[in-house]
Structure 1
Amino acid sequence: MSNKEKYQLSILIPVYNHVCKGLVENLHLQAETEGLLYEIIVADDGSTDIAVKEKNSRISTIKNCRYISRDVNVGRAAIRNFLAEQSRFKNLLFLDCDIELPDSHFLKRYIDADIKAVLYGGVCTEGTHSLGKHNIRYIYEHSSEPHHTALERSKQPYKSFRTTNFIISRNIMLAHPFDERFKHYGYEDVFFGKELKHNNITIMHIDNPVSIRDFEPNDVFISKTEEALRTLYCFRNELADYSKMLESIRRMEKFIPMEFFRMWHRVFGKLELKNLKGNSPRLTIFNMYRLGYYLSLKDVK
């Protein structure tokens, strides 16, 4: 885009128990280099770690940056809506707090792109060889990377949307906010993609990924996975055509009774968990555990 000095950008980062001052400093430097009319707003969604909050509070000392501390955790959908309401520029860049920028041209690639309505840049994983053996989130994310290119995402532009790294027009965001029924972890971005399609709002995909380098311990990731599956179960009817898990179940149940997987989970679920929380987790076991856990939710009242 020409006249970069007039390009307006609000960079919005929800945070929970994670220090993101370094990320903000990097974004600030890039925005200054590009001569943008910009602001960076970090909203803390009720973090419980006082030391983290203290470090993040220093973000407000950086030019054009603001740190907002909120006492009550409102969830991933509501905190993003809050950030949009707090913003003042016409383009909004949403980023997760636990990512890193790949290089010094991250913002420039977004500015140079032909933004229509919503633009998703993608995500990539970076880690050591040991992570590939011992960390189940790294193993899972790394195995999914071939599907994260812009070419692959563009094949199903609405189903491939994630909130990790995207730009959206402020007017569109305010007119079509995230659904605040999604208070727990998972699938608020999937439903948002569905709503954008329903309202004929274009999602474009480019290769401008952020990096994931901070991978939580296996037990934490499994707990988050279970929470996401419970969210999916609550919204299963509305997400029927937008969830890979639900699509897989529909295909498999034509050939295999789902009761088989429920029984498998009852018998082997604890053994699977032991593997997944241990030092040598297996992706195949992770996928079996996810399927069995989800299918078993129908028995939970």
Structure 2
Amino acid sequence: MKQYRILLFYKYIPIPDPESFAAEHLLFAKELGVKGRILIASEGINGTLSGTIEQTERYMAHMRENPLFADMVYKIDEADGHAFKKLFVRHKKELVTLRYHRRLDPMTEGGERLAPKQFHEYMQRDDVVILDGRSGYEYDLGHFRNAIRPDVDSFREFPEWIRDHMAEYKDKKILTYCTGGIRCEMLTAVLKEEGFRDVYQLDGGIVTYGQDPDVRGRGFDGNCYVFDERVSVRINQTDEHVLVGECYHCGAKTDRYVNCADDSCHRQHLCCDDCLTAKRGYCSAECEAHDRAVAASGA
């Protein structure tokens, strides 16, 4: 058994005085020694953190003592060490930045939840459309087979993108999914507000789907993008597992995202092992030349 864990969790629940709660929670998390990112808003909490088994057990026990979070669900992954370098606990206006024309309540306005086995069964049907609820660069690393790739870089772009690209599917069953489930809580509410009637979401997201013993990630191609030091996580635990990410330089299949070695660029791009060596971590010859020029100038 590995000595560290990564917890992924969220819950939509009204939090009185969220700014004070965020400040208190930061002190608690610091004292505990966990690392990660936790967002707190008047509408709830959303977090990913890493720590030892003891630290994560203490964190969950502490949260269960609070009536607001007593039934909060945690996705748990074993790890060799911390998945984050620092700890951030921040108060935000929205758990998922949407800036929609009206405030949506995902708990009452969202789509029907499907357990992993149900989701897999629905994927086999001819009358469904599968919509990835993440950004395009996340899709490029891995996605459910036949899912639509959204051409968005941030979640708040979804409403306009849906109006421009999804109108022809209004009579279809729409299956949505995201990493841990929270974005689809809001995305399905947006879809219903935009006139889609038959809308569903993968309960627990891709992470839960990969851990479910009935499906074991079946039907998910490539790897899942995660917002921690791991970056890329395998989901499909069956012999169907394939890579779908394509190297930015040569097009070879890869599951590796790297940041451009030029500090003024840091473009995150898919890169195979051969090109990582050949290109020395740069996304372009221009970035390498720029980096050399900066080094030569002593700046």
TM-score range, shorter chain: 0.3 to 0.5
Length-normalised TM-score, structure 2: 0.33
Tell me which of the two structures has the higher relative contact order, counting C-alpha pairs closer than 8 angstroms and 6 or more residues apart: 1
Structure holding more strand per residue: 2
Structure holding more helix per residue: 1
Length-normalised TM-score, structure 1: 0.32
